[in-house]
Structure 1
């Protein structure tokens, strides 16, 4: 008895899907998304460079 017979069988590879044709609207939409993601990454980089905005720690009110 061979150990190769048991276990899961590998699924057959699916054929590669053809590249879908993209019209001008799709291209413009993808470009807009790329620009938004780049702007978000730039904002994150700028935010990480600076120190904490409030250096006072926990502020207590005068009420008890």
Structure 2
């Protein structure tokens, strides 16, 4: 055991992934996902603009 072998060893490099060929169904699916995510973001934005949903109700004071 020499001093050079101590410590962590570098992991082997992973082989590069091949680029996938996208067909029409994949392109349409990704487009549909983008539109759904955009709609969800808009709905969240509209919901955050309104005031608190729960207002009123019985409020308890510390006094008896």
TM-score by shorter chain over 0.5: yes
Runs of 4+ residues over 2 Å off in structure 1: none
Q: Which residue of 2 aligns with 1:9?
A: 9
In the superposition, the TM-score normalised over structure 1's length comes to 0.74
TM-score of the superposition, structure 2-length normalised?
0.74
Change (3 A) 1:24 1:14: same
Partners of 2:45 and 2:6 in 1: CA distance: 52
2:51 alignment counterpart = 51
Structure 1, unpaired ranges of 5+:
60-64
